[in-house]
């Protein structure tokens, strides 16, 4: 990921401020309708949020002569990914169609946390749900199941472009997650999407507070000039920070 | 909805007493096997219950030249529905096949709550789950996702008969929801279904209390004459209220 | 189930110590990739675990002339199963393809609990979720819905081999459940799978504690000779009990 | 099947005259909406039609220690079914969820044909499509695939009530198939459904001929008194035989 | 459909010349990725093609008290649609989620043909496949099944915007079908899409003929200047007409 | 593919003699249950068979800023694959989840044929069905649709291990197809699977001829010693060639 354009210093912080719903609206304004990974939801609502550049891992369907219980001394690609995903990155997994096996379990998730990785997103299940929750780490997946990955898939490579939940993910694309799931922001758009998502999020905080006070959405959402003036006053009063 | 047969004064209260499981049994006794909306579940278990006549909103698949980010001064049908659904009604949404976009978000849900609408039921996802939960309002949907509706569908009309989760919903049909989902009671049957659901629910409270005390289901559920006599005594003692 | 090979005295206890994820790995080591029931998850996370031999119940699609609201004096197979499943057994239900009806409700679940049955596993929904949770009993199913079983299926027989969630279940097979779902252990393998699952679980407790302390998975998971020596010391210190 | 009520002598012939579309309408008039087996279509359009009482065969998911390539001297239930299904019967298969394996292949289909069985209906795939077509025999299934049954399922018993494609099938129920698929007629209704299906089919032949000549469907379909009078004349002229 | 912008005189003819694959490419060039109706395929390959403006019919899920076998003297919306769809139009059906019932059968299809309607497109099944094929008329649907529509859905209105197979269809939009399925061209784009599809189709005929003669696709498809010059000579020679 | 173990001279010919059903049985005997690609069927029954080593092409979901109509001078990976797949190879496509777009059309298929490629297998649709059929070339896919690939996916690389229809495919694995679909034979097993499939196919030809003559499957299929002796005589008479 060394040749990627550097991100602006506050890009990750601004994305942390915004919801994934807001980010997808900014992607839509740029013509991108396919940024939300289908199926991945937080395994633990207490650890739903993470933001960081993508490090990718790809599985393909298993073949019985190549997939069995792990043996000492071997280092399969998913274990390498766990050791090599950079601190701050989000490990994004193309689960290879896995529906009834978990590509990672509690031990590998604990290792990721210790290494400073920001989170995990997969379009298949994980396993050891109780153990994963005990670790306390952002994991978004299609639920959890008991069987290990080699029941159904095998890891094949890392750091390549992948498809995850119907979305293209290139290494270095920026991932943001919350209770609504995970979104993928193309690297070259990350700074501007972060900037505009932050602004939109602030505005919507104002709108939501107004609606809760009883104001109609007519003229407010989306805002007309009067609503924008009110918003600027609201900002000037230091609200919404 | 002005020409609909008025409901008996206690119909909504009796439905609030009964579970949706009980209501579907009363529908089955009248030959109706298709009253439960498929897929819709409470977004927030703390706000699972609502009862009220249906106000309908229909989406169809989006077309790119007609669907984009909202613009000031426009009032699309789903926003009109949010402003026009009567107080006490349940907004029922035919999501038009939406699987990866949310037809409503936290701001519109907050507005519905303020306007006194009873709840929302949709056969597609909503968005802004964290925000919706913060509003504290009954919403039953197929989970939540980040993208906005115009990514995939567009609102087309209100107050027409719709299909929602495999069930026909006519404006004015009575909706009742709980943790098991949402059921639709045809308007012309609402009074009698409410009356009999209330009676069945009381009986089943008695049955459940007996079973918890160790009584076999044989002769009790469904009840024979002996069990019915016991039930009447139990009622006479003022239990189950 | 009288002619089944008796289980070793500590087999059920050892299975209670192990996670379903661990058990599926032991099944995989014996060439069995299909032991995890698809779709069944705990209705109540507070009651996710149960272990016991399977007692089976089979549903098939309903036919309108044969399926209606229950009548006093009748004892359909699912009600017989509720009265006849042995104490300590797990009632495993082939829901016959039910997707929109619940094969059991709160009253029958309360009866199962009172009779000392260990739990329920089904590849279809249950109903009366609020009531079932109030009972406090391990139920693993594909969520809950309002309609009763006779809307869609009818019970046909008990104590026969069935398919449940893509897994063959013979009466007497041993079932174990937790947050990751339910697994089926063939009767003739139950003792050895229990023994080795217990051992594996202890080892993985050690591995997880090491990883949480910052040790790399390289050489640890799976463990090389050094790691095994550390594990034996850890055991000797009395940890992991 | 020896204790089943005998069928009227012309019941099977009348069903052969009628389409499955007509038969389902007669079932609907008797309150039965679930008589058409989902998914099963003729493998060979030249052999789409068969009529006869059901002989049932049930599969459940395979378990690796019980399912392998066939061995000489063994006679698994599906092979017994092939030898024991009565001449004139339709072999109806509950494929146990098989989606990617074929429960029968060309050799067993050839044997069924030689034994005088009327046809095969399954809610899963068959295999050896080219070979099956070469046999020339009515087979309705969910397409064909290459793998053998033991890849995914195993036969478990015969002559029990089963579910097939969402429909309850009891041994002796009458099966009828054509290009639109397979329908199941409860044994006790077979005579009257056959009689009325025959009458309806004759009427619809008249209606179709009139529509092809340019007559509006208004008053004709369904027929009013004038249309019925025309129909009787048409019959009297000996048309539609 | 009286207020719709008239189509250019040769628009329908040009669309008849082009394949649906070509038309979707012209839609994509205008930013429309969602013009192909999912699931609908020709019931009869010999009658795969039709072109014409859409006339719409909408079904919703049936309710047992409202849906039964047709009665003389009634004229439900789908029968009205059959009598009122203009000559030359394509009847486009939102089947309301029907998966196991046919919204039209052979008699109504015969009537549509006699009235000069151009074809039928539905996102659900039809019924009476053998009869429909005997009529000889373009019908694109999701296969055929035996049961009648009232088993599962009921017609509710005509001539409104609908969703069909994931595509928005407004009355008057132009439909074109072939072996690859059915595409929807927004009315306001029909003339230009027809014009450019015709041009593209001619070019691709040239390209295909060149490829069949052995020319590499490099520089040919898409064509560079040299290939375009060759194409113009090919046109000048009168080929591809 | 230069470093792959060479195939025995008659391996491809022996595979051409065997059906895919037979090949999957030989894979099962070696413990491989996952060799049949799910979903791919011949677009044209007249061109169902091909055999050859795999050349792989991988798609991932499209992103709107990267996927548009092709431009002159560009050579995207799928076009490179069409020019670079070796003569005699089978192009195997991981369609990246494409369900509503075709990864190849008639022009590229015509080019593949001209270059001597043996066939195409994809787990997604193709497009231009009429054109593809006119080319006369083995294509196995999940049907055909009108939209082009860039509506939904984009090609990303060639000659890597992929998943296709639930099966791992490594470059050089041997592919064989017929009416039942496509199977993947691991390179290192190809010679022995070919040899044993050929032998099994010959035996089954004998078995099928015996069954057609009226012989029971008992003792014949699978064959006992008597049946094997008969088979050897049949072979000695020169039948089955």
Pick the residue of B47, B143, B211 with the most C CBs within 10 A to test the interface with C by mutation.
Answer: B211
Strands C119-122 and C139-141: parallel
Element (H, E) at F48: none
Residue B121's nearest CA partner among B76, B186, B166, B71 is B166
Q: Check: CB of residue C187 under 8 Å from CB of residue C170.
A: yes
- Split at pLDDT 50, 70, 90, the class of B241 is low
- Residues 152-171 (D) with a CB less than 8 A from some CB of C: 154, 156-157, 160-163, 166-168
pLDDT at E1: 45
Give the residue from B43, B44, B102 showing the smallest Cα distance to A36.
Answer: B102
Q: Do residues D181 and D197 share a domain? A: no
E strand or H helix that includes residue B68: none
pLDDT for residue E5: 87
Q: How far apart are CA B39 and CA B54, in angstroms?
A: 18
Question: Residue F130 is nearest to which of E178, E183, E224, comparing CB atoms?
Answer: E178
Above pLDDT 90, what percent of chain A?
A: 89
Of C62, C64, C163, the CB nearest to D60: C163
Same domain, C197 and C168: no
Say yes or no: E44 and E145 in one domain.
Answer: yes
Q: What angle do CA E177, E183, E186 make, to 5 degrees?
A: 130
Res. B1: pLDDT tops 50? no
Q: Is D214 on the interface with F (CB under 8 A)?
A: no
Q: Are residues D214 and D159 in the same domain?
A: no
Indicate whether C212 and C173 sit together in one domain.
no
What's the Cα-to-Cα distance from B188 to each of B7, B139, E221, F63, rounded to whole Å? 9, 25, 64, 50
Do D103 and D216 share a domain, yes or no?
A: no
Q: Which residues of B touch C111 (CB under 8 A)?
A: 211, 216-217
In a domain, A1, yes or no: no
Rounded-to-integer distance, Cα E208 and Cα E54, Å: 32
Q: Residue D19: CB partners within 8 Å, gap ≥ 6?
A: D178, D180, D201, E128, E130, E131, E146
Q: Return d(Cα F74, Cα F109) in angstroms, integer.
A: 19
Residue E69 and residue D183: Cβ atoms within 8 Å?
no
pLDDT at C16 (0 to 100): 97
Q: Is residue D147 part of a domain?
A: yes
Q: Which residues of D touch E71 (CB under 8 A)?
A: 222
Give the separation between CA D173 and CA D68, rounded to whole angstroms. 33
Q: At what angle do helices C20-29 and C190-212 cross, to 10 degrees?
A: 120
Looking at residue A67, its pLDDT comes to 84
Interchain CB distance below 8 Å, E131 and D28: no
| Three-state DSSP state, D157 | strand
Q: Could you read off the pLDDT of E158-173 as tens digits, one per residue? A: 999 999 999 999 999 9
Q: Which ranges of chain B would DSSP assign to H, the alpha helix?
A: 11-17, 20-29, 77-84, 106-114, 129-135, 190-212, 225-236
Residue A63 lies in a domain: yes
Contact B64, E31 (CB under 8 A): yes
Say yes or no to pLDDT of D122 above 90: yes
**pTM score > 0.95 for this model?**
yes
Extract the tokens encoding D172.
């002796």
E145 and E214 share one domain: no
Q: Do the chains contact at F211 and D114, CB–CB below 8 Å?
A: yes
F102 CA: distance to closest CA in chain E (Å): 9
Closest CB to B70: pick one of A24, A204, A222.
Answer: A222
Q: pLDDT 10s per residue in chain C (241 long)?
A: 457 889 999 999 999 999 999 999 999 999 999 999 999 999 999 999 999 999 999 999 999 999 877 776 666 888 889 999 999 999 999 999 999 999 999 999 999 999 999 999 999 999 999 999 999 999 999 999 999 999 999 999 999 999 999 999 999 999 999 999 999 999 999 999 999 999 999 999 999 999 999 999 989 998 999 999 999 999 999 887 6
Which has the minimum average pLDDT: A211-225, E11-25, F123-137? Answer: A211-225
Cα Rg of chain F (Å, integer)? 20
Q: What is the DSSP letter of B237?
A: T
* Exposed/middle/buried for residue A99 (C-beta within 10 Å: 0-12, 13-18, 19+): middle
Are C115 and C211 found together in one domain?
A: no
- B222 has a chain C CB within 8 A of its CB: yes
Distance between CA F241 and CA F238 in Å, rounded?
7
The mean pLDDT value of chain F amounts to 95
Other CB atoms within a 10 A radius of the CB of residue B209 amount to: 14
Look at residue D32 and tell me whether its pLDDT is greater than 80.
yes
Tell me whether residue F25 is in a domain. no
What is the spatial distance between Cα E9 and Cα B131, in angstroms, rounded to a whole number?
54
CB-closest option in D24, D36, D211 to E107: D211
**Residue A231 falls inside a structural domain:** yes
Higher pLDDT, D13 or A67: D13
- pLDDT, one tens digit per residue, over D168-197 is 999 999 999 999 999 999 999 999 999 999
State pLDDT tens for residues E60-119. 999 999 987 777 666 788 889 999 999 999 999 999 999 999 999 999 999 999 999 999
Do the Cβ atoms of E1 and E175 come closer than 8 Å?
no
Q: Write the residue in E20, E204, E212 that is nearest to F146 by C-beta.
A: E20
The answer on D162 and D43 residing in a single domain is yes
Q: Do A64 and F32 touch (CB under 8 A)?
A: yes
Tell me the pLDDT tens digit for each residue of B169-190: 999 999 999 999 999 999 999 9
| Residues of A in Cβ contact (< 8 Å) with B135 | 212
Q: Is E143 exposed, middle or buried, given 0-12, 13-18 or 19+ CB atoms closer than 10 A?
A: middle
Where residue F156 sits, what CATH number does that domain have? 3.50.30.40
| Chain B nearest CA to C149, separation (Å) | 10
For an interface test with A, the pick among F57, F150, F168 (most A C-beta atoms closer than 10 Å) comes out as F168
Per the rule left: phi > 0, alpha: psi between -120 and 50, beta: everything else, C100 is: alpha
Chain-centroid distance, C-alpha E137: 13
Instruction: Using the predicted structure, report yes or no on whether residue F70 has a pLDDT greater than 80.
Output: no
How far, rounded to the nearest angstrom, does the alpha carbon of residue B89 sit from its chain's CA centroid? Answer: 10
CB-neighbour burial class of residue C143 (10 A; exposed 0-12, middle 13-18, buried 19+):
middle
Per-residue pLDDT reduced to its tens digit, B68-105? 777 766 668 888 899 999 999 999 999 999 999 999 99
CA distances from A95 to A48, C27, C160 (A): 20, 22, 36
Omega into F222 within 30° of 0, i.e. cis? yes
* Tens digit of each residue's pLDDT (9 = 90 or more) over E188-234: 999 999 999 999 999 999 999 999 999 999 899 989 999 999 999 99
- Is F121 part of a structural domain of the chain? yes
Beta bridge partners of F139: F120
Report if residue D49 sits inside a domain.
yes
Residue of C nearest to B48 (CA): C130
User: C167 is in which domain, residue-wise?
Assistant: 33-185
The confidence band for A115, taking pLDDT boundaries of 50, 70 and 90, is very high
* CA distances in angstroms from A34 to A182, B59, D217, F62, listed in the order given: 12, 20, 47, 8
F133/F217 same-domain check: no
Partner residue opposite C223 with nearest CB, options A72, A130, A147: A72
Select the residue of A70, A106, A130 nearest C222 (Cβ to Cβ). A70
Contacts of E31 in chain F (CB under 8 A): none
Task: Collapse the DSSP code of E185 into the 3-class scheme (helix H, G, I; strand E, B; otherwise coil) and give the result.
Answer: strand
**Please, which pLDDT band fits residue A73 given cuts at 50, 70 and 90?**
low
Q: Is F108 an interface residue toward E (CB < 8 Å)?
A: yes
Evaluate whether residue C12 is within a structural domain: no
F19 interface with D at CB cutoff 8 Å: yes
Q: Which of E185, E201, E220 is the last residue of a domain?
A: E185
Query: Which chains border C (3 or more CB–CB pairs < 8 Å)?
Result: A, B, D
* CB contacts < 8 A (A, B): 92
d(CA E84, CA E92): 13
> Does the beta carbon of C85 lie under 8 angstroms from any beta carbon of chain B?
no
Cβ contact C33–A114 (<8 Å): no
Q: In this predicted structure, what is the pLDDT of residue C73?
A: 66
Residue F92 contacts A where some CB pair is shorter than 8 Å: no
Q: Which residues contact D127 (CB under 8 A, 6 or more apart)?
A: D101, D102, D104, D105, D106, D144, D145, D146, D147, D148, F21, F180
Tokens linked to A77: 């690609």
When divided into structural domains, chain F yields a total of 2
The answer to whether D181 contacts E145, with C-beta atoms less than 8 Å apart, is yes
C118 in Cβ contact with C177 (< 8 Å): no
Instruction: Give the list of residues 6+ apart from residue F103 with CB closer than 8 angstroms, or none.
Output: F57, F59, F78, F93, F95, F122, F124, F125, F126, F149, F153, F155
pLDDT at residue F68 is higher than 80: no
Same domain? F133 vs F39 = yes
Cα of B167 to nearest chain E Cα, Å = 5
Is residue F177 within 8 A of residue F121, CB to CB? The reply is: yes
C168 and C116 in a common domain: yes
């Amino acid at each position: 990921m060394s040749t990627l354009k550097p991100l602006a210093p506050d890009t990750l912080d601004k994305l942390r401020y915004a919801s994934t719903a807001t980010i997808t609206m900014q992607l839509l304004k740029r013509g991108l309708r396919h940024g939300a990974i289908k199926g991945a939801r937080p395994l633990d609502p207490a650890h739903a949020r993470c933001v960081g550049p993508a490090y990718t891992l790809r599985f393909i369907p298993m073949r019985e002569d190549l997939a069995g219980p792990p043996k000492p001394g071997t280092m399969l690609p998913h274990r390498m990914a766990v050791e090599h995903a950079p601190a701050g990155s989000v490990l994004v997994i193309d689960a290879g169609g896995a529906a009834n096996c978990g590509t990672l379990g509690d031990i590998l998730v604990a290792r990721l946390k210790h290494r400073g990785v920001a989170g995990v997103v997969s379009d298949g299940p994980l396993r050891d749900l109780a153990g994963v929750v005990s670790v306390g780490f952002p994991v978004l997946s299609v639920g959890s199941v008991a069987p290990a990955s080699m029941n159904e898939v095998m890891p094949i490579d890392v750091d390549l472009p992948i498809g995850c939940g119907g979305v293209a993910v290139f290494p270095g694309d920026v991932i943001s997650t919350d209770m609504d799931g995970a979104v993928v922001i193309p690297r070259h758009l990350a700074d501007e999407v972060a900037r505009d998502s932050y602004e939109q999020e602030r505005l919507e905080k104002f709108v939501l507070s107004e609606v809760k006070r009883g104001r109609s959405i007519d003229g407010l959402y989306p805002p007309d000039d009067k609503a924008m003036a009110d918003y600027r006053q609201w900002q000037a009063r230091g609200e919404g920070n």
